[in-house]
Amino acid sequence: MTHTTADALLPARFLTTIAHFITTLMVFFTKDIYVRAALPIGDSSQYASYDNSLTAALALSWVCFAIELFGLFSGMTTFNQGAGTLYLWAHTAGIIALIFFVLEGWHYMIYWYIFTFCSALPALIETGLLLLVTLLRVNQY
């Protein structure tokens, strides 16, 4: 029995999505470090604002993961190879970026860029594909 790239895409998509989710959990539980990296020394007046911003970005990331996992588990976008490949690359880039984010203690605003390209973009595409499948009956599963 021969294995194709398509056979490896589905488990790789799932694993990278879950790994990216776990790294966002790591950021959530250590978010104080990244918020403090943004504050001037001795000034904590903006702490609550920065903390709320990072918490909002993390919460939006989790919403994006929920959208993608819904599409994956519902079967509506499970076998779309083009989207699956894009998600695989986006989540791999997100994992790598978040590893550096955690290890280097980057400024919390960097997370918004990581979120935009590695979470929001795949979720937006997933939402579009879900709408195509449900409303226009394109690419039935």
Among the ranges given (64-73, 85-94, 131-140), the one the predictor scored with the smallest mean pLDDT: 131-140
pLDDT tens, position by position, 1-42: 677 777 889 999 999 999 999 999 999 999 999 998 888 887
In a domain, 41, yes or no: no
Instruction: State yes or no: pLDDT of 136 exceeds 90.
Output: no
In a domain, 59, yes or no: yes
Q: Indicate whether this model's pTM tops 0.85.
A: yes
- Pairwise CA distance, residues 42 & 50, whole Å: 15
Range(s) of the domain holding residue 20? 7-36+47-135
The first and second tokens of residue 43, run together, are: 């000034």
Q: How many domains does the chain have?
A: 1
In a domain, 84, yes or no: yes
Longest dimension (CA), the chain: 64
Instruction: State yes or no: pLDDT of 105 exceeds 70.
Output: yes
Going by pLDDT thresholds of 50, 70 and 90, the confidence category of residue 104 is very high
SS (H, E, C) 15-76: HHHHHHHHHHHHHHHCHHHHHHHHCCCCCCCCHHHHHHHHHHHHHHHHHHHHHHHHHHHHCC
Among 93, 75, 60, CA closest to 129: 75
